Amino acid sequence: MAMSPSRPPGATSDAPATAPPLPGAPVEPHIAPLLPTEHPADVPGLIPVERRPGKALYKTLLPGVMQVPADLVLAMGRKSSLWPMTFGLACCAIEMIATYMAHYDLDRFGIVPWPSPRQSDVMIVAGTVTKKMAPAVKLLYEQMPNPKWVISMGACATNGGPYTRYDRVLQGVDKIIPVDVYVPGCPPRPEALIDALISLQEKIMEDRKVLGA
């Protein structure tokens, strides 16, 4: 009859002694944590906490509500409701008027032309700016509420165009008012102006933290 080997003196178990895990250490779900048994009252405080993803109160009360920064909402409203002021200075204004027609349908971008500077937020400088016209353009810009943006449409508004040699022509409208988007061409096509308006919408979204809420 086979007999098991005798245990050494002082041994109480065949399993090797294992150190208990540190509190808060990750524990495999299928392995029970090793807890000390010499102090049973301390066992509840040493059990690892189960990770449960939290849920905000407003998501519980109002499911489906999306949380976004206020400046993002305001910038999206601004870019989707641009009101360009309707005035033209030279032949580029004909292309600007063609852009407003139904064939290009600027209403799909939320762009609505407006005849007054008091409610407009976009100025499209379409044409040659002479030094006689410059004070009027500057006055219209100052009458527009903030935030406001300027598009320089065509070579004449950007740097004088073919009339840059004449002293009575302003060498770019950015000499008197700040310009956000430049549109090259003489004259630029309506597609170029639409691309400038889309670029302005992207710029509004990028500058939302600079402008503030």
CA distances from 40 to 20, 25, 36, 135 (A): 14, 20, 8, 88
Least Cα distance to 81 among 201, 177, 163 occurs for 201
Token match 């008027």: residue?
97
The rounded mean pLDDT for the chain is 80
Model confidence band, residue 118 (pLDDT cutoffs 50, 70, 90): very high
CA distances from 114 to 16, 39, 85, 87 (A): 85, 80, 5, 9
Which ranges of 62-147 does DSSP label H, i.e. alpha helix? Answer: 70-79, 92-100, 134-143
Least Cα distance to 89 among 181, 151, 167, 175 occurs for 151
Residue 35 has pLDDT above 80, yes or no: no
Provide the whole-model pTM: 0.67
Quick check: 121 and 148 in contact, CB under 8 A?
Answer: yes
Distance (Å, rounded) from C-alpha 201 to C-alpha 213? 16
Residue 40 has pLDDT above 50, yes or no: yes
So where are the chain's domains?
Answer: 86-211
86 SS3 class? coil
pLDDT of res. 32:
58
Residue 160 has pLDDT above 50, yes or no: yes
Section 126-130 average pLDDT? 91
Give residue-wise pLDDT tens across range 46-89: 777 676 666 666 666 666 677 777 788 888 888 888 999 988 89
Q: From the options 3.40.630.30, 3.40.47.10, 3.40.50.300, 3.40.50.12280, give the CATH code of 86-211.
A: 3.40.50.12280
